[in-house]
Chains A and B, each alone.
Chain A
Amino acid sequence: MKLNKNVNQKNSIFKNWLVILVAILFIILPFIINAYWVDVLFFFGVYALLGLSLNIVLGEVGLFDLGHMGFMAIGAYTTAILNTTFGIPIIILLPVSAISAGAFAWLVCSPIIHLRGDYLCIVTIGMGEIVRLTLNNNPFGITGGSNGVYGIDFPSFGSIFVVDNSTKFYYYIWLIVGLTIIGLVNLQRSRIGRAWNCIREDEIAAESTGIDVRYYKLLAFVLGAGLAGVAGNIYASKLMIVSPESFSFMESCMLFCIVLIGGMGSIPGVLIGAAAISLFPEVFRAFAQYRMLIFGVAMVIMMIFRPGGIWPRKRGAFEFKPLLMKAGEENG
C-alpha cells in the first residue's frame, strides 16, 4: 500500500506542475495577444468542451457518435428560444440547456442503444440531421428557420458582472473547460469510468462481470449530450445568434476527428485535438483557398504517423504497475 501511494504522488506532483504552468499561461495570454486571437482561443475553448463531451461517448465507451452537434444544437436553441421569448437570464439557462440536451439524448438513444458499431454511427448521423433539418424548417415558428434565432443576451451574474467582451468570454469558457476537466478526471478514476473503459475494451466481458452495459452506455450519452448542451449555451450567448448551419454533419465529423487526433479517452489529447482543429485553419489563413486542402492532407499524414493520436491515454501502465509490485511484495 505504501508503495502504491508513493508512485501515485510522484505522478500527481509532476502533473500538477505541468497543469499549473499551462493554467498560468492561459491566464496571462489575453494580455499578450490581440482581441482577434482571444476570440480564436475562445472558439478553441468551445471545441475543447465539445471534444471533451464527445470523448465521454467515443473515447471512454467507444460508441460511434457522428451526430454530436445535434445535442449542442438542442442546448443552443433551448438557450436562444427561452432567452429571447421569456427573457430568462443566460446563466440560469446554462443548467437548463444541459438538462434539455441530456434529456433529449436519453429520449432518442434509449431505443437505439443496442445497435453496434456502424449501425449506431448512422443512427446518430440520422439523429443529428433530423435535428438540423427540423430546426431549419421552423416548426411552430419558434426556431426562425434558416435565419435562426438572434438577439440573445450576454451571460450576466445579476447586474454586477456581465460577460460582454472577448477577454471576459475567454475566461468564462476556459473556467468552464477547467471545471469540466477536473470533473472528468475524477470520473475517469471512478467506478463509472472503469466500467466505461471495460465496455470499450470488451462489451461481453463487461456484461459478464456484472456491469449494466445498457445503463452505462446511456449514462455516457446523457452526460456527453449535457456537456454539449453547455457548450451550446455558451456558443449561443457569445455569437448572440444561432442558426442551423452551425450544427452540420461536417462539424460533427470535426468533433470526431478532435477525439481521434488527440487520442481516444485522453483528456490532454482532446485539448491538443481541439487546438489542431480550431487553430489550424487560422494559422494557415494566408493560404486562402488551399487552406482546407492542406488541412485534409495534414489529417491523413497525422493518422499515418500517429494512428493512436498525439497524446494517447496510458491507463494500464501507470495504474496497474503499483498493484503488480504490491502483489510481488506479498508473495516474495
Chain B
Amino acid sequence: MKIILEQLLNGLTIGSFYALIALGYSMVYGVMKLINFAHGDLFALGSYLGFTLLVSGSAYATVTFGIWGGMIAAMLIAAIGIGIAGTLIERIAYRPIYPAGRLPAVVSALGASIVIQNGIMVIWGPRPQAYSSQVVPSVILNIGGIKITLMQIVVLIISFILMGLLFYIIQKTTFGAAIRACALDRDTAALMGINIETIIFFIFALGPALGGMAGVMVGMYYRKISFTMGWNYGLKAFTATILGGIGNIPGAMIGGLLLGILEMLGSVYISTAYKDVFVFIILILVLIFRPTGLLGEKIAEKV
C-alpha cells in the first residue's frame, strides 16, 4: 500500500511536469493548428536558464534572494525569458509560413527545435549539468510512513497553482473566452472584434513560459539536466496532449497527470525498461476507441 501511494505521488510529480509542458502544445495547437515542435527545447532552455541563475555564475539568484526566494526568482525569470523566446520563434520561424499551410510549419518548427537544442549545446556545453544541493535543499520527509521529498511537495504545489491559474484565465476571464473563441473559429472570432494578433502573441508567450518554469522545476527535482532532454519531455508531453484531446486545456492537464501516473505504475508493476512501451500502447488503445482523445470533442467533417 505504501509503495503504491509513494509511486502515485512520484507519478503525479512527473505528470505535473508533463501537464505543464502539454499546456503549451495544446494552447498553440488550439489556436494555430500547429504542432510547436520547438516547445520541448524551449522547456530545456528554461531549465538551463534556471541553472545559470541558481548554480553557475556564483549562484546569483540564491545569493540575492535566499534559497527559496532564489528558486522563485529563477522560475519567474525563466518564465519571462522563455516567454520572450517563444514569441520570437513565432515571429521569425512561423509567422512568414502561415499562408503556406500546416506542413511547411512542421519543418520550420523542427528547424527551430534543432537550432535551440544546438544553441544550448554551444552555450552550456555538451555535458549534462547538475543543480547542486547547496541551492536546492534535499530533505526527505516521512509522513505516516510515506517517504516524500520536500522538493516533490514544492513542485506539486507550484505546478497545481500554475495549472489552476491557467485554468482560471482560460475558462473564467474574458481574455480566456477570446482564446477559446479563436480556437473554435479564428475568422469568426476576428469578425467579433477579437484582436487575433494579441491572442497569438499571448499563447506563444504563455505556453513557453509555463514550459520554462517546468524546466526549472525538473532541474530542481531531478538535479541533472542535459541539452537533449527537450526531445524526451517534449515527446511525452505531446503524447499527453493527444491523450487528453489536443486543443483542450483541461484535457492537457488530465492527460499529463495520467501519463505520469501510468508511467510510474508501468515501471513498478511491469518493468522499468518497458515503461515507455506501456505508455505508448495505452495511448494507441485510447485512440483506437476514442479517436480524438479522452476529452476531445468529435469534430464533424465538413463536406
Contacts and interface: CB of A to CB of B under 8 A. Distances in A.
A and B form one complex? yes
A250 B242 contact: no
A303 B284 contact: no
A293 interface: yes
Most buried by B among A122, A250, A289, A295: A122
Nearest to A129: B280
A118 B35 contact: yes
B303 A303 contact: no
A299 B238 contact: no
Given A129-B235, A130-B280, A204-B301, A303 B122 contact: no
A119 B104 contact: no
Interface string A132-160: 01101100000000000000000000000
Nearest to A292: B118
A293 B119 contact: yes
A123 B284 contact: yes
Nearest to B276: A133
A262 B106 CA distance: 14
Contacts of B119: 293
Nearest to A204: B303
A300 B104 contact: no
B189 interface: no
A289 B100 CA distance: 32
Given A299-B108, A299-B114, A130 B291 contact: no
A237 to B, nearest CB: 28
Interface stretch (B1-9, B89-97, B169-177, B193-201): B89-97
A300 B242 contact: no
Contacts of B116: 296
B230 to A, nearest CB: 12
A47 to B, nearest CB: 16
B231 A303 contact: no
Contact of B111 (A121, A204, A290, A299): A299
Nearest to B116: A296
A314 B116 CA distance: 35
A23 interface: no
Contacts of A130: 277, 280-281
Given A129-B280, A137-B274, A261 B107 contact: yes
Contacts of A290: 118, 122
B283 interface: yes
| Interface of B: prevailing SS | helix
Given A253-B110, A293-B118, A303-B111, A123 B283 contact: yes
Given A133-B277, A292-B114, A296-B114, A260 B106 contact: yes
A256 B110 contact: yes
Interface stretch (A38-46, A84-92, A109-117, A190-198): A109-117
A308 interface: yes
B114 A260 contact: no
A91 B277 CA distance: 32
A122 B283 contact: yes
B113 A119 contact: no
B115 A257 contact: no
Interface in B48-87: none
B158 interface: no
B111 A289 contact: no
B287 A304 contact: no
A178 B286 CA distance: 41
Contacts of A302: 107, 111
A118 B121 contact: no
A249 B235 contact: yes
Nearest to B279: A126
Interface string B240-262: 00100010000000000000000
A295 B273 CA distance: 33
Given A125-B235, A133-B274, A299 B107 contact: yes
Given A118-B246, A119-B292, A133-B277, A296 B283 contact: no
B111 A127 contact: no
Given A260-B107, A300-B108, A300-B112, A122 B239 contact: yes
19 contacts: A116-B291, A118-B29, A122-B238, A127-B280, A129-B235, A129-B277, A130-B280, A133-B273, A133-B274, A133-B276, A204-B303, A249-B235, A256-B106, A260-B103, A289-B126, A293-B115, A303-B97, A303-B107, A307-B101
Given A122-B287, A136-B273, A137-B274, 4 more contacts: A122-B283, A134-B277, A260-B104, A289-B126
What are the 4 A-B residue pairs with the smallest beta carbon separation, nearest first? A299-B111, A307-B100, A296-B114, A296-B115
Interface of B: 29, 35, 37, 92-93, 96-97, 99-101, 103-108, 110-119, 121-122, 126, 231, 235, 238-239, 242, 246, 273-274, 276-277, 280-281, 283-284, 287-288, 291-293, 301, 303
